[in-house]
Structure 1
Amino acid sequence: MLPKKSMAMVQTAPRKLEARDLPIPQIADDSAILRIEACGICGSDYEQYEGVLQTPMPVIPGHEPLGIIEAIGDKAARRWGVDVGDRVAIETMLSCHCCDTCVGGHYHLCDRRQIYSYIPLTESPGLWGAYSQYMYLAPNTILHKMDKNLPAELAVMFNPLGAGFRWAVEIPQTQVGDTVLIFGPGQRGLASVVAAREAGAGKIIVTGLAADSNKLQMALALGADHIIDVQNENVVDRVRALTNGKGADVIVEVTSYATQPVRDALDCVRMGGTVVLAGVKGFKPVSDFVSDLIVMKEITIKGAIGVTSSGYKKAIEMIERRKYPLELMHTHNFELEEAELAIKTLARQIEGQESVHSCLIPAT
């Protein structure tokens, strides 16, 4: 039986989270209640916490939910193909699924989309984020069943790994034998390593800072062939050497706020190659951006935001096969009440702690 209330961490102002007991709503025939097993923490959680995203408040953060269906309407059960007791992974986007953009296969770009964790408490029923024991699932949710035998902290990696498949494989149409260069060894960069390896990439190169030495070693363990310390090596020269002067077929740029990798990508990509930009820069301009390189090399540059169902499905299937040592990526579990600590750990604000992939594990 469902409890009457759910403890949730509510953001009331920039850099302020507080615990609240919130009512668990009655569901309609087309909705459900999810008991949160784990919620992944990513870079946008930090941006939301800092107030950079200017999301409405008060709000429950958390947009990477994994959990168990605790209550569900008959219509929702038929539509989603799940029932009470099933473990599900929840997609971040809530789109209308009927506009031209959605029908055209780009539902993640829907003009009317909402995002779990960005919907304020003032919009009924309030439990819109996964920094909570329980969460409301709206009728337009997209979800995916997952193996209940997987550890929650491993299963909840479906989101970053889904991004790896979409950004490093689907968008650039990575082919067997391609050389893939990944700028940034964070969780999305490491996820891109696994996805590119799964797609049959011939050579995978990952760059990072000197402070990223542990993550770069993880990249090798997960399938990368070469790593580059950009503070102690010339990345352009090294890539040319590793590719016999040709350059990378595919480049995936996933660094946060650093603009130099965008500039370097133009020199590192091969003639006719593809650059995928997925790391946000806070709207900072890229200095010394030479557009003629795009023209003369016929470079394809594509932006990447979010994950779609095909990426999620590939990630979940791969996690369930347990082919890769994904547990290497997971570094921290936090209790729900430790949400602020989890965010600060990811942002390297806790001395002696380095987070790659971490998650909240609510007690219920």
Structure 2
Amino acid sequence: MRKMVKASVKVDVEKVEIREFERPSIPSAAALLRVESAGVGGSDPELYRKPNHAPIIMGHENVGTIDEIGAEAQARWKVKVGDRVALHEYLPCWNCEWCLKGDFRLCMEVDFFNVKDRLNTLRFGMSSCNIAPHLWGGYAEYMYMPINTVMHKIPADMPASHATLAVPFGNGVQWAVRDGGAGPGKTVLVFGPGQQGLGCVLAAKEAGSKTVILAGLTRDRSRLDLALRLGADFAINVEEDDLKKRVMEITLGRGVDVVVDTTSDPSGEIAQSSIAMSAKGATLSLNGLGQSVSIGEIKRRYLTIRAPRGRSYQAAETALGYIGSGKYPIDEVCSHNYGLHQVDTAIKASAGKLIADAVHVTVDPWLQE
């Protein structure tokens, strides 16, 4: 009899159930990962609410140990059984213009702005578990890793929950520094104290930014306090303080050099206020779909505007270095951990429901409940 693998499967809108799948045979060009920890990503609550996107095994911030590996995969990846790795969610083609440039996050095979059938396109944490060999997400005991998997080898002593931050903190490095230009002498404003926002704060300060400001809401009080321990110079509750007034006081009327919006604000208010608080020549990374901005104001202030779109390999590698440095209270960031039978709670806690003060929530498939 073949061994079975347990997984938490999204079967409907905000509904999961435990299912079992056969442990797959591993060909030469693949591997099997024993999942140690899977982070609940910032996009997971939205995916959990999404209709007509099931059945899937969610979980795209994944860390684990190589349990079985084929000869071709071992030769290509330079890893072996027993090695620990952190994964990207992307499964790129490695042959297109973007992959050859080293920007696999924009590969047409993984760019979900161009994929019509997301359920049946392979990407960790988002693909139908009806597609053999079924184990495409981290909320499971094991994951199947095809030859186009993107991974980072991690130290033997790095806590698995910490390593799941490679994705959201890698986003912070990409959005604030590599795309946004945060660095020596710069003043940086970050909207949203979630895991990506905290990653932006840490990355901007590590890059040498002079002043880092984080904006959040009253319900974010504990995260705003945590941001100060991760390098933020100011953490502002916009429901208690006039953000523009405070920013202009802090910058002596000049405005900020870099803005990163991690909130996906659909109203357009953040886009408009970002421009109003920007210094000439600033770079704005605006996340909300459907926002609109004045080209005239962009021209007048000589702004660069772009949108955050995942992360590069180097951004995640840089983030892992920060995470493992011992300089930061990463245990406080990794605030809650749940087992497979509590995936519903884990996702909702990450969205600010059921559990107070959750920051980065993880799922441990082997946790005894």
Same fold (TM over 0.5): yes
Give the SS at the match of 1:206.
Answer: strand
* Correspondent of 1:275 among 263, 269, 284: 284
Q: Distance in 1 between matches of 2:330 and 2:185?
A: 23
The equivalent of 1:163 in structure 2 is: 171
The equivalent of 1:49 in structure 2 is: 48
The equivalent of 1:100 in structure 2 is: 97
Deviations 1:301-347 (A, max 9, x none): 01111122011110112222222222221110101110001011112
* Correspondent of 1:263 among 249, 268, 272: 272
2:69 aligned with 1:72 = yes
Identical positions, percent:
36
The equivalent of 1:193 in structure 2 is: 201
The equivalent of 1:360 in structure 2 is: 363
Cα offset for 1:115? 1.8
Cα offset for 1:3? 7.2
Q: Distance in 2 between matches of 1:290 and 1:112?
A: 33
Cα offset for 1:284? 4.2
Cα offset for 1:355? 1.2
Give the SS at the match of 1:176.
Answer: coil
**8 Å CA contact 1:30, 1:73 repeated in 2:** yes
Q: Distance in 2 between matches of 1:201 and 1:298?
A: 21
Q: Distance in 2 between matches of 1:122 and 1:4?
A: 18
Letter of the 1:272 counterpart: G
Q: Distance in 1 between matches of 2:361 and 2:105?
A: 25
Letter of the 1:354 counterpart: D
**8 Å CA contact 1:70, 1:84 repeated in 2:** yes
* Correspondent of 1:214 among 210, 214, 222: 222
2:300 aligned with 1:296 = yes
2:62 aligned with 1:62 = no
Q: Distance in 2 between matches of 1:324 and 1:207?
A: 20
Q: Distance in 2 between matches of 1:144 and 1:42?
A: 18
The equivalent of 2:21 in structure 1 is: 22
Bigger shift: residues 265-274 or 226-235: 226-235
In the TM superposition, 1:118-137 aligns within 5 A as 118-137=126-145
Give the SS at the match of 2:324.
Answer: helix
Letter of the 1:298 counterpart: Y
Q: CA separation of 1:145/1:345 partners in 2, compared to 1, >3 Å: closer, same or farther?
A: same
Deviations 1:199-238 (A, max 9, x none): 1111101111122111111111111111221112221121
Give the SS at the match of 1:83.
Answer: coil
The equivalent of 1:202 in structure 2 is: 210
Give the SS at the match of 2:358.
Answer: coil
Bigger shift: residues 340-349 or 321-330: 321-330
Cα offset for 1:258? 5.2
Q: CA separation of 1:124/1:207 partners in 2, compared to 1, >3 Å: closer, same or farther?
A: same
2:18 aligned with 1:10 = no
- How many correspondences in the alignment? 355
**8 Å CA contact 1:346, 1:354 repeated in 2:** no
- The alignment's TM-score, normalised by the length of structure 1, stands at 0.94
Q: Distance in 2 between matches of 1:138 and 1:3?
A: 20
The equivalent of 2:118 in structure 1 is: none
Letter of the 2:167 counterpart: N
Give the SS at the match of 1:88.
Answer: strand
Structure 2: runs of 5+ lacking an equivalent: 111-121
Cα offset for 1:32? 0.1
Give the SS at the match of 1:262.
Answer: helix
Cα offset for 1:110? 1.2
2:254 aligned with 1:246 = yes
Give the SS at the match of 2:44.
Answer: helix
Letter of the 1:261 counterpart: I
What RMSD in Å do the two structures reach over aligned CA positions? 1.7
Give the SS at the match of 2:43.
Answer: helix
Give the SS at the match of 1:36.
Answer: strand
Cα offset for 1:348? 1.9
